[in-house]
Amino acid sequence: MNDIGHFIGGARVAGMSGRHADVFNPATGQATGRVALASAAELQRAVDGALAAQPKWAATNPQRRARVFMRFVALLNQHMTELTELLSSEHGKTVEDSKGDIVRGLEVAEFVCGIPHLMKSEFTEGAGPGIDMYSIRQAVGIGAGITPFNFPAMIPMWMFAPAIACGNAFILKPSERDPSVPLRLAELMMEAGLPAGVLQVVNGDKEAVDGILGHPDIGAVSFVGSTPIASYVYSEAAKTGKRAQCFGGAKNHMIILPDADLDMAADALIGAGYGSAGERCMAISVAVPVGEATADALIEKLVPKVEALKIGPYTDETADYGPVVTKAAKEKILSLVEKGVAEGAELVVDGRNFRMQGYEDGFFVGSCLFDRVTPDMEIYRQEIFGPVLSVVRAKDYEEALSLPTQHEYGNGVAIYTRDGDAARDFASRVPIGMIGVNVPIPTPLAYHSFGGWKRSVFGDLNQHGPDAIKFWTRTKTVTSRWPSGIKQGAEFSMPVMR
């Protein structure tokens, strides 16, 4: 069995706490390794290394920091096959889906290659008599990231790439369910020329998370996970004066207007609802057709597509999606499906009894499609995080708009229509952070910022794009006047520039 430790001081190190968690192959249900769970002493060792390395790294000019990421991007492309295999074997998602996971992280690494420009700030000459004023951005110091299982490559890179490019040292606490890819990314960063101690990977559970949140030398923390934990991380970080960006749950709707191309909408729902077994924070889990005729026609198109979905292990190149990540996740998904049936939703495609021949112990969940779901049902209120799509019928546009508006989550939403006025009105009025118009998963590209509204996010600044540079730096504003422009004598009134 493979023993997985930490990455501290520029190298892999064995765990010393004596505590471990099993790592599974979700397709077989068998443990393939065990990951060390860090103690407070191991976290402190990582912090000590970061404290030692960060000042010199921050003093490295931004062009040289950018060159590290240029080499890192090249190494990611060079090792793509290795990384996708490693990711799929622990997460369970298909190889192509794993590649997408890595590439979306790689794009953020590409974005921060522009850090010399991104960290430029402002200057005003002659702000007052003989007075110049300018602002500069400086690194926070040590940042930390707590990342989820569903994107073990992408989300760590969304965090550590901008943080490190801005001159910070970074401590990553990845999910203990699929820890191998983050460790490999740290090795590739070292190969790209990153100094030892600037990036540390500390595997662990709640003990490591609480250690990060309470540590006085960590100045900022980024988190992605469930809403209850996001709220906890945000409040605990505030107690020690950390800045925090915490991203929580989602219940993403797709509104389908009567004029929409229903073939396009149905295909979009299949990919966005069932891709990666629904284990995406940007998955579409609610379809909202407007009008009974639209709903009936949509269901008629969806049913055969859902029934035709091919489920299999990541080694099957023809599989549409693979298993969910753990046995507990499978049990939770199936219990919510049972709840939906009990509450009166119509289960038009029933995947509860799916069994994968030859992989009977794997964590596979069959595709499920509900119709006539109502907003009071548990399957509508909760984020199922599985291959389950719910259809909520709306009588008109205003009712359709009210559904994502009133839901507690506000991560992403999509509308399918040929009507530009309707799309513009929807984008303006719906209180959601990321909106797709005839786009099913509106995840912004790396040079825009990613983030939701309402209880999908805690904090003011989002992931990657311009917000990331603001989050991982602090602004310092300098007002300067030189002796030749200074009047003699004390001034007691409030200075004004008039």
Q: Is 121 helix (H, G, I), strand (E, B) or coil?
A: coil
Distances (CA, A) of 301 to 283, 397, 417: 19, 21, 17
In angstroms, the CA 275 to CA 30 distance is: 23
How much is the pLDDT for 305?
98
Q: Say yes or no to pLDDT of 135 above 80.
A: yes
- Cα separation, 113 vs 185, in Å, equals 17
Q: Is the pLDDT of residue 197 over 90?
A: yes
Q: What is the pLDDT of residue 497?
A: 56
> pLDDT exceeding 70 applies to what percent of the chain?
98
Q: Which residues are catalytic?
A: 281
Average model confidence (pLDDT) across the chain? 96
Of 226, 84, 79, the residue nearest 154 (C-alpha): 84
Query: Taking Cα atoms as reference points, which of 158, 65, 146, 149 lies closest to residue 103?
Result: 158
> Does the structure show a pLDDT above 90 at 379?
yes
What's the pLDDT at 490?
73
Q: Which residue has the higher pLDDT, 485 or 110?
A: 110
* Average confidence (pLDDT) over 310-321: 97
Q: In 3-state terms, what secondary structure has residue 309?
A: coil
User: What is the reported pTM?
Assistant: 0.95
- Give the model's confidence band at 492: pLDDT under 50 very low, under 70 low, under 90 confident, else very high: confident
Cβ atoms within 10 A of the Cβ of 378, count? Answer: 14
Cβ pair 116, 66 in contact under 8 A: yes
Q: How confident is the model at residue 316 (pLDDT cuts 50, 70, 90)?
A: very high
> pLDDT tens, 415-425?
999 999 999 99
The predicted pLDDT at position 129 comes to 87
Q: What structural domains does the chain harbor?
A: 2-248+456-478 (3.40.605.10), 252-437 (3.40.309.10)
Average pLDDT for 294-305: 98
Question: Using CB atoms within 10 A of its CB, is residue 316 exposed (0-12), middle (13-18) or buried (19+)?
Answer: middle
Report the C-alpha gap between 115 and 69 in whole angstroms: 10
Name the residue with tokens 């198109």: 301
Residue with tokens 């909408």: 265
CA distance 374 to 159: 37
CB 365 within 8 A of CB 334: yes
Q: How far is CA 63 from CA 31, 110, 116, 259, in A?
A: 44, 14, 6, 51
Strands lying side by side in the sheet with 20-25: 2-4, 30-36, 20-25
Which phi and psi angles does 450 have, rounded to 5°?
-105, 130
